[in-house]
Structure 1
């Protein structure tokens, strides 16, 4: 009887110890949960034949951002696995697969037929402006990254106006527009000055440029509203924040996502 009780106690103790170890393991593991998104990630628009030479200080996220493609696609096209290590001098393709240079087929105009009547070319059809598509639901809320007047707006297709500009004063707080992880913190992207890029999900990024000082590092988890930088004029003619939102690597109009104010 005593032996049976001792055996039962040892089994109970072993189960309790196993349960405690499992709980400690779960508590010690940091899980970064991406905000849920109702949209599926679409492939980036490839640029057949285009390549980029990695410069000192470049990161894969920075190169993807600069070229308007999703970092997941850029990594897959070049066979680069996490943690996405690249090297100066390395050549990266901006397109999938092995695309060789093929001669462009030239179409010769047909020879005119003797005696044939030449008909006037009909006028080209009038192209009507395409309506701006409705914004994609990100699955989480956005907030304004800084206080101040809007002095620059997004213009689709204009490489110099891929976001909005918010005027402010030197040292003013710049805050994260949503929860996420810092994937770039540096000054290596020409035209952005001191820049921070935050990844909010597999499909969504936000960028904060022209800062005076960056207050967060790459890999750092960020909460919405947390101060990440001090406003400045690095790479700009005045103190302001340049703010962008990108969906699958493509710039979208931030004013379609930020709350009215």
Structure 2
């Protein structure tokens, strides 16, 4: 018999999770719900659930603290976190507490059921509940991979002008860096570094066209810490130096302007 505990302080969210969980349980399974960390600890001591679904920002005692306390007397319970907070420090703490999954709200029903059934299967097979490995979202379906890539691209486009590493982006979507690199290249057709550099080159070209900034300043504006490396990347991508590109663009503009004057005459 499975004993499932849902800890969620938002009524609608709790009812939503309850409906999804009930669809997957058998008649002899028990389902418990509560809205605070203190209640979660009390119910866990009383009913000893083998599956716990825990929100983080709950009243009285926060979710991570509640899990830390529950782990003292239920070390093998299968626990998944559902939260709207993506801070990496939370995920790091969750890893240390051997959480099964870390899901970001809003959670799609199909993804939630997939994770919940994995929890049930893990328990029924009597396998080790959690390996000590980087936290990962479930990315097995095409839809999930697209969502993961879209979130990554959104973050990259907002921050490509800053110091940005593969590990930093992977941590934002709670994916192992090696796995992130593999999926990114498969979905986008280019490696992570090449994608970042392409965005930076496009921005560099724009700055060369509309400003009088020196190349070293443009390199910093585009997120490069080393101007010489910026020059090498620019030459490799554009087959000319930044200075040559600026002259080329200005020459084109002058030529175009002259053509328009001749037509007018």
Query: Could you state the TM-score of these two structures normalised by the residue count of structure 2?
Result: 0.21
Query: Could you state the TM-score of these two structures normalised by the residue count of structure 1?
Result: 0.21
Larger RCO of the pair (alpha carbons < 8 Å, separation 6+) = 1
- Structure having the higher helix fraction is 2
- Structure having the higher strand fraction is 1
